[in-house]
Structure 1
Amino acid sequence: MDVAVVLFTSDLRLRDQPALHAALRAADTVVPLFVRDPAVDRAGFAAPNRLAFLADALADLDGALRERGGRLVVREGDVVEQVCAVVSRTGAGEVHLSGGVSGFARHREERLRRGLERLRCPLRVHDGVVTVVPPGTVVPDQRDHFAVFTPYFRRWRESARRDPLPAPRRVRVPDGVGGAALPQRRRLSGVSPGVPAGGEREGRRRMAAWLRSGVDAYEERHDDLAGDATSRLSPYLHFGCLSAAELAGRAREHGGAGAEAFERQLAWRDFHHQVLAARPDAAWSDYRARGDRWRRAGRDADAWREGRTGYPIVDAAMRQLAHEGWMHNRGRLLVGSFLTKTLYTDWRVGAEHFLGLLVDGDLANNQLNWQWVAGTGTDSRPNRVLNPAAQGRRYDPDGGYVRRWVPELDGVPVRALHEPWRLEPATLRERGYPEPVVELDAGRDRFLAARGR
């Protein structure tokens, strides 16, 4: 075969890239293709923070391909039309694509397959590129997916793993395949100031640093909000700048309690992908309906978005999200519980806000984590309510996280950082910090009454 096409989506790397590897085996020349599809914008996936990271990742991918004699071809328009145009122009005999789990990804695969059939060009879909274990390969007896994490994790740990593939030494691209200019971060507006640099090169640098000096302490420190002792690799996994399979393998090789705890988090990521693969409707519908009659999102939800709830640990996390396009995992649990249970506001309100800002805004993990914390997902304790003051005392005992993101409270005693209602209202007004939007016990009672408890 003379030509094959590789359609890059959420797999923006050269190392451990099965779709690219298969195309290079099948053809003398390969078109590495990325299509900027307006349907992604209409579906709400093209948030400024992710577009900025994507621009970096595409530039990095193009540079790595050029080092190997190739280049990235970027097209703009409907993905099926653009892929078919490249196939017609080059006479490509195959198109290779990494499989996805969302309804959007599956619909794209179906449309591509139908469009390419008219050109008598097969679509080769490669599963297990985005996750450690392909969705659907670890299943319980007589069911299509696991609904509880612990039994899934036991089977996941025992599952067979593929060996990571090396980056190709050379990529030859056929002549005459035109494309658009690479997007540039500096041309985007609305990007949060703390969004990190994207791309495989940066992702691998961070992975090496994490495995060298961070992962050993992960089990003990992963909930330390001020210590910021998590890997921060989630954006690189979301865009496929890093291989989840390679990262899990390297963590296992590293060994130790910290690496085992970190590998468990990668299993949680796979768990959510296998749930969404089996239940695509769970992206916006309750996985387990609880009969909720959510309050309308109003001023309380606005205060939550703005980091002005009067609960410093909640506000700190929401301000971190706005500044960095990222939030500590413990913070995600806290703000999710506060919105859905203390304020009794629909989890979809929170999920949509997160998708508008998170660089790692992965549909499977974002939506199903929101459902977990709202009690409509896979959590076995759906009615638990996290107390933000108690959580602040436990996971930010010295107040460093709150002081970093809520400077209005700098200098007040630690206890008041987590319980600012102990300060005089006049003191709060002078500092420009709001009083609590709801009393914790009242919010908890309202939620439990609505759930019939």
Structure 2
Amino acid sequence: MSVAVVLFTSDLRVHDQPVLRAALDGAEEVVPLFVRDPGIAAAGFDAPNRRAFLADCLASLDTALSERGGRLVIRSGEPAEQVCRVVRESGARQVHVAAGVSRYATRREERLRTELTAAGATLTVHDAVVTAVPPGQLAPAGSDHFAVFTPYFHRWDETGRRAVTAAPGSVRVPRIGGEPLPERGAVEGVSPGLAEGGEEVARERLAAWLADGIEWYEDRHDDLAGDATSRLSPYLHFGCLSPVELVDRARRERGAGAAAFVRPLAWRDFHHQVLAARPASAWSDYRPRGDHWRTDAREISAWREGRTGYPVIDAAMRQLAYEGWMHNRGRLLVASFLTKTLYADWRVGARHFLDLLVDGDLANNQLNWQWTAGTGTDTRPNRVLNPLTQAKRFDAHGDYVRRWVPELAGVAGAAVHQPWLLDARDRDRLGYPDPIVDLAEGRDRFSRARGLVFRR
């Protein structure tokens, strides 16, 4: 009886799952395999929030497979070694995996191919599983990737995509041993408000978003207090949702909201194609600016703890600590504040985000940080986001600040964003810190460092 192995990585789903579909089409039995890779922890990516969310995702995937007569096989160890072991135990001759874009993922694929060839098995790597458009499919003349989003988006938007595939009706798994599923409750240090993971929850969230949310996305997606984004990014990161299906279903909706929602999905693909072409940009400047970053431990600590004295910045950082997630507008604000107002290295912020964000994706996290720091693909690399101006625009009534900064819950009017306007006695009573830096001073320091002249 022919057997194939499906190595699940960042594609933990059964709906629109080309890797699983190809394995089922090519063999009578399939081993759905997930390898708990110690290399992920060694590289610093096994953060508690993602580990807990992953446990939910694996349990959900196992349930979906069980409903179809199968089960998920868990192993621990170096991926190529464990896959080859499963190949020997099951008699499989085919292994299927989704294509990755990071240097770690491509090296994993290379070792898999080498080890499987020696074992007499073949490896098939599938594109358009983790992204809607494969990273290397689109490129401008004279380059291997797009360095600016807008021309990339125009090409991406008119590019055809593979058809969405249905979930399989049955999955037949040979007799083979595995380890128990990891348990979310066994993970320590998890953010108290971390969302539940897994494909079932993801599809429920998607259905609710398409029914009552996407219509208003264009007008409300920057509203910090309104919390009107889809919150689907963690499920995309773990592959509980297919980006191809998400684009397809969004495009079936009418109106500007649906069109606007597709754009961040294109941004996600854009960053993946940049990282695929320039793997070093995960930790090195994509476009070096000659920065000599400051390393003020007190300021960086205040930023991490949400104690900068700028309420909208502190609200966003506290949301991150509590939920393991942050509103996209908040991400832009705190990144600009760290890199351009405090003039601290973007890698400090990117590392902190990876320590907490449940959707901490190497391509999107690192390259969004570089975009904001001005060392990435932003065509206006020296823009500085003023937290006061931004707060008045995107948290006009202060509700977002009051939600996440309880010291300011009773403050009315403009003082919720500028508590230093209160008299000294009221400030002392609140127990909220004074600003750690003057905005004008920070802007001048940044302009001098970059050799710029700003007109006031």
TM-score range, shorter chain: over 0.9
- Describe the SS at the equivalent of 1:45: coil
- Aligned residue in 1 for 2:138: 138
2:275 is the alignment partner of 1:270: no
- Aligned residue in 2 for 1:15: 15
- Describe the SS at the equivalent of 1:227: coil
The percent identity for this pair of structures is 67
CA shift in 2, pair 1:114/1:426, >3 Å:
farther
- Aligned-partner residue type, residue 82 of structure 1: Q
Q: Pairwise mapping of residues 32-431 of structure 1 onto structure 2 (< 5 A)? A: 32-175=32-175, 177-431=176-430
Cα pair 1:425 1:435 within 8 Å, conserved:
no
TM-superposition CA deviations, 1:159-182 (whole Å, max 9, x none): 01111110000000011x111100
TM-superposition CA deviations, 1:243-296 (whole Å, max 9, x none): 011001100011210000000110011100010010010000000000000001
TM-superposition CA deviations, 1:405-442 (whole Å, max 9, x none): 00101221221111122123442222111000000000
TM-superposition CA deviations, 1:127-159 (whole Å, max 9, x none): 110111111111111211000000000000100
In 1: Cα distance, 2:124 partner to 2:304 partner? 42
In 1: Cα distance, 2:195 partner to 2:152 partner? 32
TM-superposition CA deviations, 1:290-320 (whole Å, max 9, x none): 0000001411000000000000000000000
Which deviates more from structure 2 when the two are superposed, residues 136-145 or residues 237-246? Answer: 136-145
- Aligned-partner residue type, residue 89 of structure 1: E
Cα pair 1:238 1:361 within 8 Å, conserved:
yes
- Describe the SS at the equivalent of 2:4: strand
- Aligned residue in 2 for 1:3: 3
In 2: Cα distance, 1:207 partner to 1:382 partner? 34
- Aligned residue in 1 for 2:448: 449
Unaligned 5+ residue runs, structure 2? none
In 1: Cα distance, 2:271 partner to 2:356 partner? 20
- Describe the SS at the equivalent of 2:95: strand
- Aligned-partner residue type, residue 388 of structure 2: A
Cα pair 1:297 1:349 within 8 Å, conserved:
no
- Describe the SS at the equivalent of 1:4: strand
Q: Give the count of matched residue pairs.
A: 452
CA displacement at 1:343 relative to structure 2: 0.2
- Describe the SS at the equivalent of 2:96: strand
In 2: Cα distance, 1:421 partner to 1:347 partner? 28
TM-superposition CA deviations, 1:206-258 (whole Å, max 9, x none): 00000100000000000000000000000000000000110011000112100
CA RMSD of aligned residues (A): 0.8
- Aligned-partner residue type, residue 342 of structure 2: L
- Aligned-partner residue type, residue 144 of structure 2: D
- Describe the SS at the equivalent of 1:309: coil
- Describe the SS at the equivalent of 1:31: strand
